[in-house]
Amino acid sequence: MGDALDTLDTIAADAARQPLAERRLLHENAVDRLRDMIVHGALAPGTKLNERALCERLGISRTPLREALKVLSTEGLVELQPNRGAVVATLTEHMVREIFTVMAALEALAGELACRNMTDEQFNEIRALHYQMLAHHARRELAPYFRCNQEIHLAIVEASGNATLAASYRSLNAHVRRARYMANLSQARWDQAVAEHQEILDALGRRDAVQLQGLLRNHLGSKLTVVLAALGAMTENVKETADAAYD
């Protein structure tokens, strides 16, 4: 009898937990899909986010949508405006320069520490990600390529063995993920980025901290140059559109 009651208690507990688990899954799925839409440019900077339209598009209710928007606001991708709803956050040159400057320092430090602390297993995982990234590049699959690219940078940071550094990096990277995606939109820059990643992998494999630091700084510097050019073009397009509306 006791076993039967224990079983019933377990079933009841599982049933009580299920709605919460489902809500969490809806919320996490909404965060991932909205993040991708913003990062990949499907939702342009300054776009007002229509809750009803997004709920229909994502197949969710307003509660998980609003929870997702709160998460994305902490990542700097969405701005929550009192009495006006949410809009896709804009990127400014000043903001991007500041964040990239700090991230370059963090990536260089992470590279130095990874050369000291990284295990063979961690290096093999980074190398596997690199080859997966090369396959996406060869097939011109930008979105999955970008995901592998980001996983490589995060894996190097994690391999540093410094949890504080990793947490700081993840927070900053969330704010400029869209900018980093923009840096791969031209074919020439994309090819250059792949070549730079090969050099980074080689230096990491040799545990050459000095060279790796320089490569990581230069890699991010190259991205910054392209991002600023893309931001300038985007700003000009917005201005031209606004001017045309008053012609």
34 & 115 share domain? no
- Of 21-30, 105-114, 136-145, 231-240, the range with the lowest mean pLDDT is 231-240
101 & 82 share domain? no
Contacts 24+ apart (CB under 8 A), 91-95: 91/45, 91/176, 91/178, 91/179, 91/231, 92/231, 93/228, 93/231, 93/232, 95/175
The residue out of 36, 70, 88 marking a domain boundary is 88
Domain of 22: which CATH number?
Answer: 1.10.10.10
Name the one residue in this structure whose structure tokens are 């996490």.
28
Q: Judge whether 118 lies within some domain.
A: yes
Note the pLDDT of residue 109. 97
Domain of residue 49: give its range.
Answer: 2-88
Pick the more confident residue, 221 or 200.
200
- Report the domain count for the chain: 2
The residue out of 67, 88, 109 marking a domain boundary is 88
Kindly report the average pLDDT of the chain as a whole number.
84
The residue out of 70, 88, 106 marking a domain boundary is 88
Residue 104 has pLDDT above 70, yes or no: yes
Q: Per residue in 132-152, pLDDT tens?
A: 999 999 999 988 999 999 999
71 & 109 share domain? no
127 & 59 share domain? no
Q: Give the predicted TM-score (pTM) of the model.
A: 0.74
Q: Judge whether 247 lies within some domain.
A: no
Note the pLDDT of residue 214. 97
